[in-house]
Amino acid sequence: MRKRESAPSRRSRRRSTVRSVGFVIAAQNRRAAAIAARVAKWLEARGIEVRLPSPASKPSAVSELEGSPAEQAFSTDVVISLGGDGTFLAAARRAAETGVPVLGVNVGGLGFLTDTRHSDLLPVLEKMLAEGFEVVTRSTLQAEVIRGGQVTWSASAVNDVVITKAPMARLLFLDIEVGSVHLSTYAAAGIIVASPTGSTAYSLSAGGPVVHPDVPALLVTPICAHTLFSRPLVLPGDASVTLRLRPRGREGEEVMVTADGQVGHPLNGRDLLHVRRGANPVRVVKVGEADFYQRLKDKLHWGTRL
């Protein structure tokens, strides 16, 4: 496992060759599994080592990759994520730990994080085999829950770390510190701490700003804030955020912290949540001349006349 110092998103100038390819497939997505099997045969016919979930005919769960059949994919030259943004996020979190680049392939919905359509996958791979490939890096987040001075839970995230309440829609009261400074107490349905990549996900729907992934920043966005002064914050990329829940006399209420909406942990009034930039960025395969602004127009329909 290679550890690297996190840095703002940037483009790699070095082209890497492809000798082995691993696949991570969306759970219960038979279409994605069929595409993976077909592409695997195409790659093997060209002398490329392929690692598919076993058995290849069954989609692999991506919520917990550690120890799963999909884990073997992360000791290859490149991992192909076949599914939607959720599949990509699960694969990217694991790939950040190992340093393997990820190629996101969209099979179905919006696919904001997945640059390649499944119908374009073979031409993209053909070019990668002939010319190698470049990568861009995307910063990650590291979250830790502290209880009684001990770390009781930790997780990495590509998009965001979220504190939210379930199942009743009552306000949470959350103290927020930036560095060592107590900044405010949010009264809200929850708090989102997002990376620049995650600025176009849950944070955007909660009223947060769109931030270019090359900007070294940390975003804090309240969910349905109760007071007008509780506005989203854009912090420096090396900032650290600490959140503490104020129970307000309701100790029995269920409050959760989640990473990318895929892994989570319950919180109580004695817990602290620390969020900072992760030590290991995600290496994403660069496809063509994909541009962030063009993606905003294509995926979010910006610039479309109403």
pLDDT higher than 60, residue 181: yes
Q: In the prediction, which pLDDT does 79 show? A: 95
Cβ distance 218 to 176 under 8 Å? no
| pTM recorded for the entire structure | 0.87
More confident residue, 141 or 296: 141
pLDDT higher than 90, residue 54: no
By percentage, how much of the chain surpasses pLDDT 70?
84
Half-sphere exposure of 12 (CA within 13 A, CB side): 18
Q: In the prediction, which pLDDT does 72 show? A: 75
260 catalytic per annotation: no
Q: Which of 144-158, 219-233, 266-280 has the lowest mean pLDDT?
A: 219-233
pLDDT higher than 80, residue 219: yes
Q: Which of 77, 85, 271, 298 is catalytic?
A: 85
- For the chain, report the end-to-end CA distance as a whole number of angstroms: 50
pLDDT digits (tens, 9 = 90+) for 223-249: 998 877 778 999 999 999 999 988 765
Q: In the prediction, which pLDDT does 287 show? A: 82
Q: What domains are there in the chain, each with its CATH number? A: 20-138+281-300 (3.40.50.10330), 141-277 (2.60.200.30)
d(CA 233, CA 218): 8
What are the beta bridge partners of residue 176?
184, 243
- Within 10 angstroms of residue 212's Cβ, the number of other Cβ atoms is 13
